[in-house]
Amino acid sequence: MNYQQIIRNVYSDILQKENKGKVPDYIPEIACIDESKFGVNFTDLDLNTFGCGDFEEKFSIQSISKVFALSFVYEKLGEKLWERVDVEPSGNAFNSLIQLEADHGIPRNPFINAGALVICDILLEISENPKEELLHFIRDLSEDHQIFFNEKVASSEMENSFRNAAMCNFMKSFGNIKNQPDAVIELYCHLCSIEMTCKQLSNSFLYLANGGKKPSSNKQFLSYSKAKRINAILLTCGFYDESGEFSFLVGLPGKSGVGGGIVAILPQKYCIAVWSPRLNEKGNSYRGMKFLEEFTTQTGESIF
């Protein structure tokens, strides 16, 4: 399979088409991003890598970082984790409050905002310095120490986190948040502020394409069964209330972020990361979704 040629062709085709959607304006530090940015990077398990466009430019990975936090907590906590967060698709927007009351403060999955807040709460419980430990974990996965929090983005998010604060306090009323909500929100906003490139992302997610093991070093970050389960949640919940559509059109486990990034995985083969800041009405990158749909159409490869 000539992935390089397919990526180049699809990238060129998408670049010439209308770039619909809009950059989110509720995070001021993200609202000022150049809407025309568009990058793609592909890395396989043999560490062959290829990029197009703005694939080496850093951007705020936002909710993609929830996958790293989940992996970190799941490996340490094991199956006890699922007592506090479920693994079901939500069917609602990523910041919805509707289901929390019906589900007695247990978020539907770890990738909606409420679920990620619970993961952050657990991080505060099990780590002495959760921000530094998580950043070290991500740097270890990517084999790159030039990965940082963007303090301006984190501050911007904290100043506009009223809805997340509402969810956090609401879950605390059910006993599913153990720490002070302010501390949970502060960690969550820093988690979302992490900046990475498409190239760093496609490399760092290879452990999920390789049964929990980093292919370059053979270091086991997750057990095979845990990696399998995270991939399953990525497939069913990685794109909020557009997860079914992504599975239908693309057919790969993946995760999006409102910074315009998308990461997708073909287990035992590769990881591909796409970045384009304009989002569709569901909060996923418009060009990113189009690119991955056409990419899997042309390769004829998916998990199905």
pLDDT at 115: 96
Rounded-to-integer distance, Cα 86 and Cα 115, Å? 8
What integer is the mean pLDDT of 134-155? 95
> 282 CB contacts (<8 Å, ≥6 apart)?
239, 240, 241, 242, 245
Query: What superfamily would CATH give domain 3-299?
Result: DD-peptidase/beta-lactamase superfamily (3.40.710.10)
Radius of gyration of the chain (CA): 18
The string of pLDDT tens digits covering residues 27-80 is 888 888 999 999 999 999 999 999 999 999 999 999 999 999 999 999 999 999
Rounded-to-integer distance, Cα 123 and Cα 179, Å? 10
Contact, 79 vs 139, CB < 8 A? no
DSSP secondary-structure letter at 82? G
Domain edges within the chain: 3-299
pLDDT at 240: 85
CA angle 27, 32, 38 (to 5 degrees): 105
Which residues face 196 on adjacent strands?
Answer: 59
In the predicted structure, residue 92 carries a pLDDT above the cut 90: no
- Among 140, 121, 117, 142, CA closest to 192: 117
- Among 221, 202, 201, CA closest to 211: 221
What integer is the mean pLDDT of 186-195? 97
What integer is the mean pLDDT of 254-283? 96
pLDDT at 39: 98
Token pair listed for 64:
């993609």
What integer is the mean pLDDT of 237-254? 94
0.75 surpassed by pTM: yes
302 pLDDT tier (thresholds 50, 70, 90):
very high
